[in-house]
């Protein structure tokens, strides 16, 4: 956990100094670690990075994914898939 927390802190630090792309890469690595809490931490970094990089469609996709994180299947292109 200590290494994980260090990487989270580094990702937030990188965002704060304007290195959103590097923070995004770290967040994607953190996402792979696994449990829901960690995925949501990584997502917070990713959402902010997507906004700073003007990649708003990815911000929306990630938001939809997080809203239905435990679903076996989610078609983000189908507006009715979350129902």
Residues 6+ apart with CB under 8 A from 9: none
The greatest distance separating any two alpha carbons of the chain, rounded to the nearest whole angstrom, comes to: 40
Identify which of 27, 13, 22, 12 has the alpha carbon closest to the alpha carbon of residue 59.
Answer: 27
Residue 41 contacts residue 33 (beta carbons within 8 Å): no
pLDDT score for 38: 87
What is the C-alpha to C-alpha distance for residues 7 and 2, in angstroms, rounded to an integer? 9
| pLDDT tens, residue by residue, 14-69 | 999 999 999 999 999 988 877 888 888 899 999 999 999 999 888 888 887 888 77
């Amino acid at each position: 956990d200590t290494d994980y927390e260090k990487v989270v802190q580094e990702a937030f630090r990188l965002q704060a100094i304007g290195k959103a792309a590097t923070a995004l890469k770290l967040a994607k690595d953190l996402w792979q670690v696994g449990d829901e809490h960690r995925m949501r931490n990584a997502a917070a970094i990713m959402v902010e990075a997507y906004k700073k990089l003007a990649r708003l469609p990815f911000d929306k996709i990630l938001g939809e994914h997080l809203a239905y994180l435990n679903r076996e299947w989610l078609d983000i292109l189908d507006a009715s898939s979350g129902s």
